[in-house]
Amino acid sequence: MSQATSSSNAGRTVRPRLFWRLLFAQVMLMGAFLYLSLITLGGYLLMLGFDAEHPQPQRLMALGGGGLILLVGLWLLKVAMPRRVSPVLVEPEP
């Protein structure tokens, strides 16, 4: 019986769980960094839009771009968050 299980496992490659957990953590950290960078870019463009040293067309473009980037960032945050914090138990009526 032990020969049958060892021969069937010989063809499979088993990846360690630690590898996938570390990969998931790395992807989450990268996503958080990119999201924070996007929000920071929107804020920077808004600050440039309110700066009086730049010409008027450049200020308007910076205000529009910064506002649009912040709106997209808020939409992404809304989409990424779960609708409910805890699951709701629905019991069928008899």
Output b/e per residue, 41-68; b: 16+ Cβ within 10 A: ebeebbebbeeeeeeeeebeebbebbee
Distance CA 20, CA 7 (A): 26
What digits encode the pLDDT tens for the residues 21-69?
Answer: 999 999 999 999 999 999 999 999 999 999 999 999 999 999 999 999 9
- Please, are residues 54 and 48 in contact by the beta-carbon 8 Å criterion? yes
Query: What type of residue sits at position 1?
Result: M
At 71-91, the pLDDT tens digits run 999 999 999 887 777 777 777
pTM of the model: 0.67
